[in-house]
Amino acid sequence: MPKLLVIDDDRAILAIAERTLSPIADVVTASTAGDGLKKLRSTPFDAVLLDIQLPDQNGLAAFCEIREYDRRIPVIFMTVEAASETAIEAMQLGAFDYIAKPLSVDPLRDLVEKAIEQRQISSVPVAISADETAADKSAELFIGRSPAMLEVFKAIGKVAKQNVPILVRGESGTGKELVARALFQHSHRADETFLAVNCAALPDNLLESELFGHEKGAFTGAESRRIGKFEQCNGGTLFLDEIGDMAPTVQAKVLRVLQEQRFERVGGNKELTTDVRIIAATNRPLEQMVSDGDYREDLLYRLNGVTIDLPPLRDRLSDVESLIRFFLAQAKLEFNKPDLEGLSPDAVKSLTNYEWPGNVRQLRAVVRRCVLDTVMPVITPEVLPTEIHNSPKSNDSTTDSETVEKSEESGTQLPQLVRRLLQERSTNVYAEAMEYMESYVILQVLRSTGGNQSQAAETLGITRGKLRDRINTYKIELKSDVVVKENE
Ligand SMILES: Nc1ncnc2c1ncn2[C@@H]1O[C@H](COP(=O)(O)OP(=O)(O)OP(=O)(O)O)[C@@H](O)[C@H]1O
């Protein structure tokens, strides 16, 4: 039977604890911190219930001694009033949880059961340690040992020093900006300026002015002359993210810079020259957009002379472990969690089996969230987001065709979709897969804003015009709920 230590100077509390908890644990009591610590050192315990005010020592100080002795032991604090300050302090120190007196029987039993269970599952040796030297904050490291990523690194090495435009392609969150930075750092321009512009984040007229600048009075609100990024970045490197999201006028101006290194500020007629290396990135099907008349063919050809393709994370799952190691060590330092030891083997299994629709960005966010959420030194599957913990592949139980039928909208069906398209010998796999992802993201964000398009556009980092365009394209209906219309 698991062993529980209850430290409190109130005999009534000790009696309630013994009565309530003896069916689930072997309860040992102590009425002072000194006595409790002595007992703890002589027998192994699975959890501790600790009063915050003890006669011989403050409970928080006693807690620190317990942690020094055994940092894996879950400690639940008990206190008379629900004092937020103490609760915050206790949780910051790493307490398992906090319960207010007078003790209610059911919540107390549930909490102690949970603590004992946590103690047992986190007693396994860690599969990935949180102590990695790679977490040096000063270096922005690019992680990946899979053959696909080695190809990417080789491509960066080959083209970084050539003064040509480069197009980086890949799904959102695959690391396109990191590639752009690596190209810059290894180029002859490494000591010059590097600027990044997200073309989807600004309305078309503002994007034009952001890139090329404007003259005073060029449009309402243009109260003075403004220098654009192409001018500011003279001699340096400009990273144009989401290059697919540009109005035709802007496309024409960017093409001219690429061809002649010349442009005019908005509202100006003086021709300016600039020497900027362009690195562009996109996750959009530019070829399809050219066929649909939405993108200039000549611009596409200028841009994609040299292309670097970043594979989605699900196609290089062998990189997941090293990425976790890296993000875990970073988060441990950043969130000051010195007791964090790492991830349990089961947690690693769930993470390495997941399909990662949001790619490395999603993996990074999940690891950081787990580090923040865990109260135990070892991160176990229970701490993972439910979609990962319960993902069909993590549990190896559901077949692909079942999941496609069941939840068209779950957003995790991309691999199945791609497999189906390949079986059907589709020649439009890229565009269809991109559309699937894009419609999923837009739908989810619109749902989260209750259909408010301004808020959704802001959250998505795209303009309202673009959002409206996508809503029409994907036949998203904004009624009391946000739904996708069936194809007529
Ligand atoms: N191989 C990698 N090693 C370490 N960190 C990575 C790697 N790939 C991506 N990241 C991290 O993941 C996050 C997303 O990467 P990044 O912004 O470069 O993606 P992106 O493809 O440009 O996304 P988007 O298309 O949405 O702009 C960043 O925090 C980045 O540092």
Whether residues 187 and 237 fall in one domain: yes
Quick check: is 142 in a domain?
no
Whether 93 shows a pLDDT value over 80: the answer reads no
- Based on the fold, state whether residues 214 and 151 are members of the same structural domain: yes
In terms of domains, do 342 and 416 share one? no
Whether residues 305 and 165 share a domain: the answer is yes
Of 361, 395, 429, which one is at a domain's C-terminal end? 395
At 172 the three-state DSSP class reads coil
Q: Is residue 128 part of a domain?
A: no
CATH code of residue 370: 1.10.8.60
Give the C-alpha separation, 420 to 422, whole Å. 5
In a domain, 197, yes or no: yes
Are 181 and 252 members of one domain? Answer: yes
Give me ligand 1 centre to Cα 423, in Å.
31
DSSP code, position 70: -
Rounded mean pLDDT, 393-416? 46
User: Is 372 found in the same domain as 406?
Assistant: no
325 shares its domain with 408? no
The yes-or-no verdict on residue 357 having pLDDT over 50 is yes
Measure the N-to-C terminal CA separation of the chain; round to a whole number of Å. Answer: 63
Considering the domain architecture, whether residues 14 and 159 belong to the same structural domain is answered as no
Work out which ligand 1 atom sits closest to the CA atom of 363: 12
Question: Per mean pLDDT, which range of 11-20, 130-139, 287-296, 337-346 is the poorest?
Answer: 130-139
pLDDT in tens, 309-338: 999 999 999 899 989 999 999 999 988 888
Q: Single out the residue in 274, 309, 344 at which a domain terminates.
A: 309
Coil vs helix vs strand at 482:
strand
Own/partner contacts of 81-87, CB < 8 Å, gap of 24 or more, are: 86/52, 86/60
Question: Do 266 and 362 fall within a single domain?
Answer: no
For position 407, what pLDDT does the model report?
Answer: 35
Give the mean pLDDT of 355-379.
Answer: 91
Could you tell me which of 392, 434, 452 has the C-alpha nearest to residue 174? 434
Cβ-contact 265, 225 below 8 angstroms: yes
pLDDT tens profile 47-60: 999 998 889 988 88
- Structural domain containing residue 326: 320-395
Name the H helices within 160-285.
Answer: 176-185, 204-212, 229-232, 248-260
Same domain for 304 and 352, yes or no, is no
| Amino acid present at 404 | V
pLDDT one-digit tens code per residue, 256-267: 999 999 999 999
Per-residue model confidence (pLDDT) at position 395: 46
Q: Which atom of ligand 1 is nearest to the CA of 175?
A: 18
Does residue 132 sit within a domain?
A: no
The tally of domains found in the chain comes to 4
Pocket lining for ligand 1, CB < 6 angstroms: 142-144, 170, 172-178, 241, 281, 283, 360-361, 364
Residue with CA closest to ligand 1 atom 26: 172
- How remote is the CA of residue 272 from the centroid of ligand 1, in Å? 34
Whose CA is closest to 115, among 60, 77, 67, 69?
77
Phi and psi at 271, nearest 5°, equal: -80, 130
The mean per-residue pLDDT over the stretch 7-24 comes to: 93
Angle CA(298)–CA(299)–CA(305) in degrees, nearest 5? Answer: 90
| 476: CATH | 1.10.10.60
The reply to whether 370 and 441 lie within a common domain is no
CATH number at residue 107: 3.40.50.2300
Of the residues 345, 365, 395, the one at which a domain ends: 395
pLDDT (mean) for 193-208? 89
Q: Is the pTM of this model over 0.80?
A: no
Contacts of 69 (CB under 8 A, 6+ apart): 37, 40, 41
Same domain as 183, residue 111: no
**Burial (CB count <10 Å: 0-12, 13-18, 19+), residue 43:** exposed
Q: Residue 405: inside a domain, yes or no?
A: yes
Task: List the structure tokens of 102.
Answer: 């007078």
Question: Is residue 179 within 8 Å of 310, Cβ to Cβ?
Answer: yes
Pick the atom of ligand 1 nearest to 142's CA.
Answer: 3
pLDDT for res 418: 83
State the amino acid at position 4 in one-letter form.
L
Q: How many CA atoms lie within 13 A of 136 on its CB side?
A: 7
CATH code of the domain in which 157 resides: 3.40.50.300
Instruction: Give dist(CA 261, CA 257) in Å, integer.
Output: 4
100: β partners: 79
* Strand positions, DSSP E, 283-333: 306-309
Residue owning the nearest CA to atom 29 of ligand 1: 361
Interval between CA 389 and ligand 1 midpoint (Å): 23
φ, ψ at 374 (rounded to 5°): -70, 140
CA proximity to 298, closest of 260, 269, 332, 268 = 260
ipTM above 0.90, yes or no: yes
Give the mean pLDDT of 95-106: 85
Residue among 254, 262, 235, 238 nearest 166 (CA): 238
Q: What are phi and psi of 279, to 5 degrees?
A: -115, 120
Task: Answer whether 473's CB lies under 8 Å from 289's CB.
Answer: no
Give mean pLDDT, residues 233-256. Answer: 93
Q: Is residue 440 part of a domain?
A: yes
Dump pLDDT digits (tens) for 425-465.
777 778 778 888 888 888 888 888 877 887 888 888 887 77
Task: Evaluate whether residue 129 is within a structural domain.
Answer: no
The answer to the question of residue 153 being in a domain is yes
